[in-house]
Structure 1
Amino acid sequence: MRRRSLRLFLPLVLLLAMLIVGGLSLTYALYKKQQDLTQSARLDVLRDVAHLVRLADDMPAENSTLLSEELAQVASQPWVQVVLLVSESGEVLQSSKAAWRGRSVREVWPALDLARLRQTARGRLPNWQMRADGMRMDALQSFTLPSQVDEVRSLRRAVVYVGYDMGTLRAQARHAEVMGRVPDMLGLCGMLVLLGWLVGRYVTRPLNQLDKVSQALRRGEWGTPVPRGDFVEIDQLAAGFDALRQELAATWQALPDLLFELDADGRYLRVLSPKNEWLLQDPESLLGKTVREVMSPAAAEVVHQAMRDAEKLGAVWGRELELEVPAGNNWFEISVARKEVPEGARSSYILISRNVTSRKEAEQRLKQLNEELEMRVAARTIELTTAKDEAERANHSKSDFLSRMSHELRTPLNAILGFGQLLEFSVRDPLQSAHVRQILHGGKHLLALINEVLDLARVESGQMTVSLEQVALRDLLEECLTLVLPQAKARDVRLLDVACDEVWQVRADRTRLKQVFLNLLSNAIKYNQPAGVVSVGCVLEGESICVRISDTGAGLTPSQQARLFVPFERLNADDQQVEGTGIGLALSKRLMGLMNGQIGVESQPGEGSTFWVKLPRADDGVAAVDATRALREGAAASWRGSTVATRTVLCIEDNPNNMQLIESVLGMLPGVRLLSAMAPGLGLELARTHRPHLILLDINLPDMDGYAVMQCLREHPATKGIPVIAVSASAMPRDLERSRAAGFAAYVTKPIDVGQLLRKVDELALPADSV
């Protein structure tokens, strides 16, 4: 685009604007003048016609000298074309030209229409008319001719016709209007010339000086002074420009970078450098040369590749190259940005180069240190591996030692406990009986200590043993279904009857297998849909029996099935707010491996899941089944004959000896069913599922104490009304007060008073039908 000078463009624009305004003003003035001229001429022509009509009415038109003089006087005006007195028949009675008298109006003035003449003659009103071109106007008005000798009253009519030519008047008006504006236009031109000089003097010249300063700054001449202007605006612009110059100068001096401007061929257009020893040549000698002329081929290719990338991306950075400069062999990091240029101009690039030699040397030193560190880590790893192997061998030795010591200690302890029990039956002296009880108590305590030490050794060595025996599947599955029935009712899940032959048995650890079945049944209930169904069936597969537990839940995707048996993996159980730890299936898989069995799942999203357990088949137990059935029927008959209501008591106790004692004590009460839990979480789950009549709660529990368990019981709707007895070894008054504040129904201290405990259980564990 062609650039314009402000000192010429601004006056020309103002001149054009004023000419447009002046032209519009002149046009409007001429229009207004013509309108006024037309109106004035109309009044004049009507006045002339009316004046001649009055004279014609007062005297005969044929010989009136006064009328002729008036007619000549009207016709003498320069804009009057014609003055006629015409009879109704069209004969010219009087005229401004004597030769026209007595002739027909058609001959002397064809512009006068006879129809218009006759129409006007019949009335008294004037008839005024303007031609379409606006240059001619005329007027008609009738009068009565004098009566003749034989007439009493004259009936003859005539008209006065006056025609105006407006061309002369209009030309005179236009000339006068235009000539009246000439002085104004001359004054305006003078003002524009003065304005052009002022703009050039006080605006364009300071701007040109600022442009020269900007060019010097682009060359790196930061000390170039900035001229100030005479006017406030120009002076403020110069002051801002000078502040920008000082800021850029300080910023550039603070930066350790080199700046180059290159064209598309890699030719140096501008060079700015804080240190010339970092340049391949002096800045002046670099101008006009290309990077391929002053750099090595490898370094020049790095620069050109960066320029090509900047052409596509707009800017690139982080490219490194090595140059041999006067300061020595140095590494530089370059960043290139494409410079915006006007359309049609050649592209140019801004290249900023930073000396990173120190960083490269530091990276090299760091690399050497890393290599040394890796060597040290490798050596240390060997040492730690050796130490670990030694520790594992020591651990195995310790486990073997504990196992042997356990065996060696059990042998004499068996004799001690055996003979002690014999003495307890045979001794009658109270004092000796007390001594025997002390011996038995100490022996049992020592036996418990040995078992705990042995279990600790098994945990540390990663060993776990199972006791394989023949297990009747149907009885075990029905027992498990009975235990999870309250949980199923709470979740509105229907449990179908077990589809399994009564004689089928497998080789397994009954306790561990029961644990696996309970976990699978609990999951089938928890992850089922409302009004869902859980079915259990057994299938004979060669030498194995497969137990299939199916639900009607949401099903599992292949990715979920792949993570199903991973410890602590709960899939989306947290989103569904399903309780659990995520370790049950992983533990079940390990237990099945120990029992030479298998466990797996078959599932499709939206079609439910089927967990299967496969175990080796054992010999069918027909006699055992018959005995079990007889025992079940006998127990049922005994229960039907009993009048004692069934009461369920839940005991949450982590100490096995204390749990065994509670079982023995409550066994003395008729109609009491005991549920036991060794952990607080299991106890809460049993309480919410079975809703016992009474809960015995130990205060000192792992993970969470009895008060926290009590708070959970009171917050849950299913357990908030169940009475709870606190069982604790603490017997201080503040402990009793705290238990009452927590809502415990009673407080029993250890060692347990059996009679007191029986009274409290009998008092608080009320059956449902007695409430």
Structure 2
Amino acid sequence: MKQRSLLRVILPLLVLAGVFLVGSLSLWYAIHQRQARLDEDARVTLMADVARLARLSDQTWPNAQSFIAADIAQQASRPQLKAALLLTETGEILMAQRSAWVGRMASEVLPGLDMQRVIRVAQGRLPDWSMDQDGVRMDGLQGFDLPAAQNEVRSSRRGVVYVVHDLTSLRAQVRDDEILHRIPEVFGNVLLAVLLLWLLSRYVAQPLYQLDRAASSLRQGQLDVIIPRVGWDEIDQMAMGLEALRQELAATWHAMPDLLFEVDMRGRYIRVLAVRPELLAAAPQQLIGRTVNEMLPKEAAQVVMQAVHDAYEQGGVWGREMRLPVAAGSRWFELSVARKTIPGQEATFLLISRDITERRQAEDGLRQLNEELESRVAARTAELLTAKEEAEQANRSKSEFLSRMSHELRTPLNAILGFGQLLELSVREAPLAGHVKQILSGGRHLLSLINELLDLARVESGQMTVSLEKVQLLSLIEECLELVKPQAQARHIRLMEASCLDRLQIMADRTRIKQVVLNLLSNAIKYNHSGGVVTVSCVQENDEICFRISDTGAGLTPEQQAKLFVPFERLQADDLQIEGTGIGLALSKRLVALMGGQIGVESQVGVGSTFWVRVKRAPDGMVSPVVPPQSGEASLALDQLPLVSRTVLCIEDNPTNLQLVDNVLSMLPGVRMLSAMAPGLGLELARTHQPDLILLDINLPDMDGYAVMQCLRESPLTAHIPVVAVSANAMPKDLERGRAAGFADYLTKPLDVVRLQQLVLDMVPGKRA
């Protein structure tokens, strides 16, 4: 209705008002311009009359007053003249258009005349004019000389010409003329306005009104309403856009399975749109005008009204669910409510209801499946935890077994290698020395086998760790070549100088990469023929460095290469009577993998084999220098040692080991050894004799070496005595525990006789005997 009033009433009134306003402004501007020209013409005329009277008066007064009177009479014939006077400077009227004014004072005839202005103009020669504020009254003044009196040689008196014009009648005439002149123009503007109003009504107002009615029908949900196609092109384009919108809304709504309701604050249905009427609680016609509480069950109505209230406070709510019996059966619906606010009207609410019955059924099924899955996962998790505990127990058992086996194997080897080293130091006959060397070689080979087995087991159990650092490759290879040189000389193998640049550095664990290189060099020597050659070369490949160790041996077939890195696979080593354990290459492959590298082989039967190792290249920089090991067997010049007194206490439960240590220390001049096979006796001897050094076994009866160490440190009599651990427990964790317990050093069995002697000499300065 407001749209109709605007288009048919208010818009025409606005057009008429606009036409009237434009015409009025045009008339006012024309009158203003003509009156401005009138004022200017009146001023020119006024000042010309004043100047002419002043000139006549100055030349002819008083002899030719008739000429002056004639000029005043001529001016008086003009309708705008109000007064034309000749005054003295005192204000006495000398001549005027009215004879009755002559001889009177100007203040009586013209009360508004400013005498100060008259006096000022009389004293000068320049004319003066002015106009009052309302623009109606205009006057002009100019002075002239009066004749000299009888007693004056020259006249000092002055007269003033004063002329006043009243422009009221002229202004009114100008206004009336302009209005009469504009009457045809105003009539034409009115006709134009009427024509314009008819065109607006016919081609704008009426089509827009029809489009407004169609839009209102769309708002009410009547998606089949006909959109009129009338009016000018622009309005027709609007109709086409509205038709396209109607078709899009109709297609969109028919594609949506939702229900749309519009309700007021009290829950009264205003509009109902339903593509699926079977989901409604009643027919759409029955819902309009009724309230939610009247048409829905109590629980469902409470859900809807609560959603409406929340939407009023928050602007919109989503995800409210309710169950409702409808024609299609008991269904679940999800509500989304939004507040609709129109200025000047009560707020209404749009409700979108979506059938989610299938989703709820799927969620219930999924929830049931989840519960079953959680039950199965819990059962499986329990099984995995049990398996994990069993695996951890097996791993612990494996570690304990390895540690125990290491201890049990090293204990007899301690006697074999220890007494063998003593024999090597004391025997001088060549046949016996050779026998002793064979014993030591076999014992050291057995010890190497034990160490490799333990390393392989630690790698496979995940207990082996590596510490990556910068390693200069050339110095490492040269160090390894120096170590295997005696082995190569014994087999008549020629070791070529390594072809490797000084600047090449790799990221690796120095100890483990050295172990790998030594193993590959040893294999290249053992599997080579007499007089063969071993070469080492290095090459940089992008961010990696590959070093290759080649031999001139018999080579490997593809079948042999496939079994090369399998533990305990020795190929033809037994047939060729080559010394080895069969696990060196398997261990090397695992160590290289731990350092992020790769290892492989290239071989040709009858030509030889090349083992290559590819590791990451380290950035350029300084590398900590490594002191190269000295070749040959170390020995002490015992006969050159000074005679000093030293007391060493050895706490050991194995008589053979005690005897070995006693024999080793008896070779040192001035060293006295105290022995104890029980921890208690050892503590008593330490407190009583306070030895210079204590050699303490870890595996002791009643209490282990760590408990004995704690007792020694707690007693002020023995707290200062250095204690060295001597044990067959050689696992890395054992060494770390020994360092943490405060042992001065940790010697592993089998003992190195020379190292034990050197340790006693270094730790116990002794007293001069």
TM-score normalised by structure 1 residue count: 0.52
3-state SS of 1:320 partner: strand
Using the TM superposition, give the Cα deviation of residue 311 of structure 1 relative to its aligned residue in structure 2, in angstroms: 3.0
Q: Is the 8 A contact 2:479 2:628 kept in 1?
A: no
What residue in structure 1 maps to residue 358 of structure 2? 358
CA change 1:11–1:440 in 2 (3 A) is same
Summarize the alignment of residues 172-571 of structure 1 with structure 2, pairs less than 5 Å apart: 172-342=173-343, 345-373=345-373
Distance in 1 (alpha carbons) for counterparts of 2:23 and 2:248 = 50
1:539-562: per-residue Cα shift (whole Å, max 9, x none)?
xxxxxxxxxxxxxxxxxxxxxxxx
1:717 paired with 2:545, answer no
Using the TM superposition, give the Cα deviation of residue 418 of structure 1 relative to its aligned residue in structure 2, in angstroms: 13
Q: Is the 8 A contact 1:332 1:354 kept in 2?
A: yes
Distance in 1 (alpha carbons) for counterparts of 2:253 and 2:451 = 81
Q: Is the 8 A contact 1:8 1:196 kept in 2?
A: no
Using the TM superposition, give the Cα deviation of residue 286 of structure 1 relative to its aligned residue in structure 2, in angstroms: 0.9
Using the TM superposition, give the Cα deviation of residue 258 of structure 1 relative to its aligned residue in structure 2, in angstroms: 1.0
1:189-215: per-residue Cα shift (whole Å, max 9, x none)?
443333333323222322222222222
Question: Structure 2 unaligned runs (5+)?
Answer: 469-474, 489-506, 516-548, 550-583, 600-611, 631-769
CA change 1:256–1:412 in 2 (3 A) is same
Using the TM superposition, give the Cα deviation of residue 308 of structure 1 relative to its aligned residue in structure 2, in angstroms: 3.0
1:464-513: per-residue Cα shift (whole Å, max 9, x none)?
9xxxxxxxxxxxxxxxxxxxxxxxxxxxxxxxxxxxxxxxxxxxxxxxxx
Paired AA for residue 361 in structure 1: Q
Q: Is the 8 A contact 1:88 1:157 kept in 2?
A: yes
Distance in 2 (alpha carbons) for counterparts of 1:399 and 1:115 = 133
Distance in 2 (alpha carbons) for counterparts of 1:44 and 1:404 = 142
CA change 1:81–1:220 in 2 (3 A) is closer
Distance in 2 (alpha carbons) for counterparts of 1:411 and 1:42 = 143
CA change 1:117–1:412 in 2 (3 A) is closer
CA change 1:225–1:413 in 2 (3 A) is same
Distance in 2 (alpha carbons) for counterparts of 1:652 and 1:265 = 96
Q: Is the 8 A contact 1:262 1:269 kept in 2?
A: yes
3-state SS of 1:337 partner: strand
1:369-408: per-residue Cα shift (whole Å, max 9, x none)?
4444455556667877888899899999999999999999
Distance in 1 (alpha carbons) for counterparts of 2:418 and 2:89 = 172
Paired AA for residue 348 in structure 1: T
Q: Is the 8 A contact 1:229 1:235 kept in 2?
A: yes
1:430-477: per-residue Cα shift (whole Å, max 9, x none)?
9x9999999997887677657876898899999x9xxxxxxxxxxxxx
CA change 1:408–1:210 in 2 (3 A) is same
Using the TM superposition, give the Cα deviation of residue 43 of structure 1 relative to its aligned residue in structure 2, in angstroms: 2.7
Q: Is the 8 A contact 1:714 1:721 kept in 2?
A: no
Distance in 2 (alpha carbons) for counterparts of 1:134 and 1:393 = 121
Q: Is the 8 A contact 1:147 1:153 kept in 2?
A: yes
Q: Is the 8 A contact 1:45 1:138 kept in 2?
A: yes
Distance in 2 (alpha carbons) for counterparts of 1:443 and 1:709 = 34
Distance in 2 (alpha carbons) for counterparts of 1:711 and 1:311 = 68
Q: Is the 8 A contact 1:714 1:720 kept in 2?
A: no
3-state SS of 2:253 partner: helix
CA change 1:235–1:415 in 2 (3 A) is same
Distance in 1 (alpha carbons) for counterparts of 2:308 and 2:16 = 49
1:152-195: per-residue Cα shift (whole Å, max 9, x none)?
99998766544322222223223333443344344334433333
3-state SS of 2:346 partner: coil
3-state SS of 1:200 partner: helix
3-state SS of 1:137 partner: strand
Distance in 1 (alpha carbons) for counterparts of 2:412 and 2:627 = 47
Distance in 2 (alpha carbons) for counterparts of 1:148 and 1:408 = 167
Paired AA for residue 366 in structure 1: L
Q: Is the 8 A contact 2:479 2:629 kept in 1?
A: no
3-state SS of 2:198 partner: helix
3-state SS of 1:40 partner: helix
Q: Is the 8 A contact 1:680 1:709 kept in 2?
A: no
Distance in 1 (alpha carbons) for counterparts of 2:210 and 2:367 = 55
1:559-596: per-residue Cα shift (whole Å, max 9, x none)?
xxxxxxxx99xxxxxxxxxx969xxxxxxxxxxxxxxx
Distance in 1 (alpha carbons) for counterparts of 2:443 and 2:47 = 155
Paired AA for residue 330 in structure 1: R
Distance in 2 (alpha carbons) for counterparts of 1:38 and 1:420 = 146
What RMSD in Å do the two structures reach over aligned CA positions?
Answer: 6.1
Paired AA for residue 167 in structure 2: M
What residue in structure 1 maps to residue 687 of structure 2? none
Using the TM superposition, give the Cα deviation of residue 410 of structure 1 relative to its aligned residue in structure 2, in angstroms: 11
1:646-672: per-residue Cα shift (whole Å, max 9, x none)?
xxx989999xx999999xxxxxxxxxx
Using the TM superposition, give the Cα deviation of residue 277 of structure 1 relative to its aligned residue in structure 2, in angstroms: 0.6
Using the TM superposition, give the Cα deviation of residue 356 of structure 1 relative to its aligned residue in structure 2, in angstroms: 1.5
> Aligned pairs, how many?
517
Paired AA for residue 295 in structure 1: L
Q: Is the 8 A contact 1:684 1:713 kept in 2?
A: no
Using the TM superposition, give the Cα deviation of residue 314 of structure 1 relative to its aligned residue in structure 2, in angstroms: 2.8
CA change 1:388–1:718 in 2 (3 A) is closer
Percent identical? 50
Summarize the alignment of residues 122-137 of structure 1 with structure 2, pairs less than 5 Å apart: 126=127, 128-131=129-132, 133-137=134-138
1:351-383: per-residue Cα shift (whole Å, max 9, x none)?
111112222222333334444445555666787
1:683 paired with 2:511, answer yes
Paired AA for residue 293 in structure 1: E
Q: Is the 8 A contact 2:131 2:137 kept in 1?
A: yes
Paired AA for residue 361 in structure 2: E
CA change 1:454–1:227 in 2 (3 A) is same
1:7-53: per-residue Cα shift (whole Å, max 9, x none)?
54445455555555555554444444333323322332343345556
3-state SS of 1:5 partner: helix
What residue in structure 2 maps to residue 667 of structure 1? none
Distance in 1 (alpha carbons) for counterparts of 2:314 and 2:69 = 101
Q: Is the 8 A contact 2:138 2:165 kept in 1?
A: yes
Using the TM superposition, give the Cα deviation of residue 709 of structure 1 relative to its aligned residue in structure 2, in angstroms: 9.5
What residue in structure 1 maps to residue 578 of structure 2? none
Using the TM superposition, give the Cα deviation of residue 278 of structure 1 relative to its aligned residue in structure 2, in angstroms: 0.8
TM-score normalised by structure 2 residue count: 0.52
3-state SS of 1:224 partner: coil
Distance in 2 (alpha carbons) for counterparts of 1:459 and 1:123 = 130
What residue in structure 1 maps to residue 581 of structure 2? none
3-state SS of 2:345 partner: coil
Paired AA for residue 35 in structure 1: A
Q: Is the 8 A contact 1:62 1:94 kept in 2?
A: no
CA change 1:351–1:340 in 2 (3 A) is same
Using the TM superposition, give the Cα deviation of residue 284 of structure 1 relative to its aligned residue in structure 2, in angstroms: 1.0
Distance in 2 (alpha carbons) for counterparts of 1:400 and 1:124 = 139
Q: Is the 8 A contact 1:268 1:288 kept in 2?
A: yes
1:692-731: per-residue Cα shift (whole Å, max 9, x none)?
xxxxx99945434698799768844034898899xxxxxx
Question: Structure 1 unaligned runs (5+)?
Answer: 465-566, 569-578, 582-648, 663-678, 688-696, 726-771
Distance in 2 (alpha carbons) for counterparts of 1:115 and 1:378 = 121
Q: Which is further off, 276-285 or 713-722?
A: 713-722
CA change 1:157–1:303 in 2 (3 A) is closer
CA change 1:660–1:298 in 2 (3 A) is farther
What residue in structure 1 maps to residue 6 of structure 2? 5
